[in-house]
Amino acid sequence: MASSWAAARALVTCRLSFATAIPTRRLGRLSRPRPGIPENSVKLRAELDDGGRWSVGGGIVYASGQYARGDEDNHDRHGRVPGYAVADVDSRWQLDTDWQLFASISNLFDRRYQNFAALGTNVFTGPNRSFGPAVGLDPEPTQFRGIGAPRAVWVGLRYSWMSRFR
């Protein structure tokens, strides 16, 4: 069999608008980016196959910055969650019709990034991040961020009994 390669891509641009029944709340222009949704995201992938037994591939995922959930007017003092890009690689080797050896690395360069944020209230404002002043609390508005997955390495052996029924 001859070797082959394949490539795939996806580009998503998100622009939304909405109306509100609360006229006193400042929501900004309708063309502003919506919270929790990156305005642009791109996924690229390429794969090389030697014709049946071995393949290797990789991809890149990019997401532009986004505003925190709850920040509909895009004016939170903590700013936006920065954009990020991560790379992944994988390989498969078909040992025979039933057995396959595989390996993959997610977040190849161990990029530290955040992919989500929400506005909330932090009540742990006391010494050593305990409850606020003398447990009378002293809540402080803040932005909670979700961190992206660190590098992960997977190696395995896969068995498929479905080849018996072909």
Which pLDDT tens digits describe the chain residue by residue (166 residues)?
567 777 777 777 877 665 656 655 555 555 567 888 898 999 999 999 998 899 999 999 999 999 898 888 888 888 889 999 999 999 999 999 899 999 999 999 999 999 999 999 888 777 776 776 655 667 788 899 999 999 999 999 999 887 677 6
Task: Retrieve residue 10's tokens.
Answer: 């996806």
The domain total for the chain is 1
Task: Retrieve residue 11's tokens.
Answer: 């580009």
- In which domain, by residue range, is 112 found? 4-15+30-116+148-165
User: Would 43 be classed as within a structural domain?
Assistant: yes
User: Would 96 be classed as within a structural domain?
Assistant: yes
User: Would 132 be classed as within a structural domain?
Assistant: no
Q: Are 119 and 70 in contact (CB under 8 A)?
A: yes
User: Would 130 be classed as within a structural domain?
Assistant: no
pLDDT at 91: 98
User: Would 20 be classed as within a structural domain?
Assistant: no
Phi and psi at residue 148, in whole multiples of 5°?
-80, 160
User: Would 40 be classed as within a structural domain?
Assistant: yes
Task: Retrieve residue 62's tokens.
Answer: 């990019």
